[in-house]
């Protein structure tokens, strides 16, 4: 009976250690320094790997920066404008030159 207890304890310890070592490499790989990425990180500014890469554009009216996907793009013959809101697009067209008809 004593042997069974030690055998069971051994299995539990083995299982616990195995579970711990299985989880560790996944956590380490995220923060691990990779020399292959050195050139890449040296030329491009640092950004978290989880964050999507997106262009930032400036609102032509209030000069606030926002993601290009959220911006309202207005193309005219000579130039291209981005706006944070429809209101700013209308206000800009009213003050600057007529973009909307
Ligand atoms: Zn704006």
pLDDT value at residue 17:
77
0.75 surpassed by pTM: no
Question: Domain map of the chain by residue range?
Answer: 2-43, 56-95
In the chain, how many H helices and how many E strands?
3, 4
**Lowest-pLDDT choice from 17-21, 43-47, 51-55:** 43-47
CA 65 to centroid of ligand 1, rounded, Å: 8
CB contact at 8 A, 53 and 46 = no
CA 49 to centroid of ligand 1, rounded, Å: 29
Return d(Cα 101, Cα 85) in angstroms, integer. Answer: 18
CA 27 to centroid of ligand 1, rounded, Å: 41
- pLDDT per residue as tens digits for the range 26-50: 555 555 666 666 665 566 666 667 7
Query: Taking Cα atoms as reference points, which of 82, 79, 75, 90 lies closest to residue 56?
Result: 82
CA 13 to centroid of ligand 1, rounded, Å: 61
């Amino acid at each position: 009976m004593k042997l069974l207890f030690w055998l069971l304890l051994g299995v539990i310890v083995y299982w616990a250690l195995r579970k711990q070592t299985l989880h560790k490499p996944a956590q380490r790989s995220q923060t691990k320094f990779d020399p292959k990425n050195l050139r890449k990180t040296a030329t491009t500014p640092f950004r978290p790997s989880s964050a999507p890469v997106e262009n930032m554009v400036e609102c032509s009216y209030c000069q606030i920066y926002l993601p290009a996907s959220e911006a309202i793009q207005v193309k005219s013959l000579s130039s291209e404008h981005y706006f944070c809101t429809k209101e700013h697009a209308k206000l800009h067209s009213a003050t600057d030159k007529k973009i909307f008809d």
